[in-house]
Chain A
Amino acid sequence: EAQVTQNPRYLITVTGKKLTVTCSQNMNHEYMSWYRQDPGLGLRQIYYSMNVEVTDKGDVPEGYKVSRKEKRNFPLILESPSPNQTSLYFCASSPTGGTGELFFGEGSRLTVL
């Protein structure tokens, strides 16, 4: 089954404790991206990647890191999480980059205390 898989789906952590949210897709898509969803603000892009070893900042990259060492994986790293990073995170992939359908993962709800 074609899908985008995120883990963990739910996480409660404390300020400053490094964490990684994994994202994997099995559709051989070149384009992958991370969004955060906050009430009243919609989906805001954090980082995106056009291909392996190619990443670019989105609207809200501060406090986040990403890497794209393999085509299928695009992990989101919070080196020192803060409470303002409490949010619902979505990973997405697309076969045609910014001008095609995005396939979203199920979301990861992160709470930073």
Chain B
Amino acid sequence: GENVEQHPSTLSVQEGDSAVIKCTYSDSASNYFPWYKQELGKRPQLIIDIRSNVGEKKDQRIAVTLNKTAKHFSLHITETQPEDSAVYFCAASKSRNNDMRFGAGTRLTVKP
């Protein structure tokens, strides 16, 4: 089955700097790659996703890139703000009828 690995497990940046979180997946048939943000004590919420027919997607300060050949995808957050502090999860799935596998999460801390 699919295996998703996420790095780093913790990341600390200064406010205004950029943050990058990387994930690799094992199943070349996977075609949907979402990123979820979980604030302390809250539920995970989708922040951005990408499908395998696209190499990059942006939404204001966040972007996701996908390298299908290398089977990895990354989350980029620019101009980080303290409210970006949270745990971020990547995930991968391959079809409507399949389960979604999550990475172990990255705890991002943005220092003011």
Contacts and interface: CB of A to CB of B under 8 A. Distances in A.
Interface of A: 31, 33, 35, 40-45, 48, 50, 56, 58-59, 90, 96-102, 104-107
**Interface size classification for chain B:** 20 to 34
Nearest to A106: B43
Given A31-B96, A45-B99, A98-B99, 12 more contacts: A41-B104, A42-B89, A42-B103, A42-B105, A45-B100, A50-B96, A50-B97, A97-B95, A99-B93, A99-B94, A102-B100, A106-B43
Interface of B: 1, 6, 9, 31-32, 34, 36, 42-46, 49, 51, 89, 91, 93-105
- Interface on chain B toward A: helix, strand, loop, or mixed SS? loop
B99 A42 contact: no
